[in-house]
Structure 1
Amino acid sequence: MAKMVDITEKLTFEGNPSLMIKGKKLEVNADAPTMLKVMGLMGSDDPGVSEILKTYDMMFPEKSKKEIEKLGLSFNDLIVVVQEAVGLIVGGVGSQGEQ
């Protein structure tokens, strides 16, 4: 019989993390397939507008995007939101503003 190892206890199934902006909790998609695509897009030292917009579209569910749109952010602020969302997931522990 082939060897089998159950790794369920080694995995986390906590759900998606969130960013807090002006008291609004914005969910960020943190599943592995999405993050692998994001890392591919944001892997260069200077991602362009196209990469940032694709990343934004993949990382935020529709509900979060609607809340972000209501904020009326400048493009530079939107870049900060995307970068912080990426940092929240890949950097995780110890990032500024963590609660």
Structure 2
Amino acid sequence: MARVVDITDKLSFEGNPSLKIKGKKLEVNADAPTMLKVMGLMGSDDPGINEILTTYNMLFPDKSKEEIEKLKLDFNDLIVVVHEAIDLITGETNAQGEQ
């Protein structure tokens, strides 16, 4: 029989993190397959509109996207939201937010 190693205790199943904008908590998809796709899309120094749109659609579940649309952000602010979501997931954020 092949060897089986249970690594369950080494894994984190905490769920998705959230960004907070104007008092609204916006869930961000943080699963590994999504993040690998996002990193592939956003890996260049200057991602295009298609890459940003695809990344936005992958990062935010429908409920979060509905809340973002209600904010009526301009395009530059939307790019900030996308970048902050990526930083939140990868742990590269310097912002001090709620835990």
How would you bin the TM-score normalised by the shorter chain?
A: over 0.9
Is the 1:19–1:85 Cα contact (8 Å) retained in structure 2?
A: yes
SS of 1:96's equivalent in the other structure is: coil
Cα distance in 2 for partners of 1:61, 1:95 equals 24
Instruction: Determine what percentage of the aligned residue pairs are the same residue.
Output: 74
Aligned to 1:47: 47
Aligned to 1:13: 13
Is the 1:88–1:95 Cα contact (8 Å) retained in structure 2?
A: no
Give me the TM-score of the superposition, normalised by structure 1: 0.94
The number of equivalent residue pairs is: 98
Aligned to 1:71: 71
2:96 is aligned with 1:97: yes
SS of 1:19's equivalent in the other structure is: strand
**Unaligned regions of 5+ residues in structure 2, if any?**
none
CA displacement, residues 58-90 of structure 1 (integer Å, 9 cap, x when unaligned): 000000000000000000000000000000001
Cα distance in 2 for partners of 1:67, 1:2 equals 49
Give me the TM-score of the superposition, normalised by structure 2: 0.94
Aligned to 1:35: 35
Cα distance in 2 for partners of 1:66, 1:56 equals 12
Structure 1 consecutive aligned stretches of length 4 or more whose deviation exceeds 4 Å: none
Q: Counterpart of 2:63 in structure 1: which amino acid?
A: K
Cα distance in 1 for partners of 2:29, 2:64 equals 10
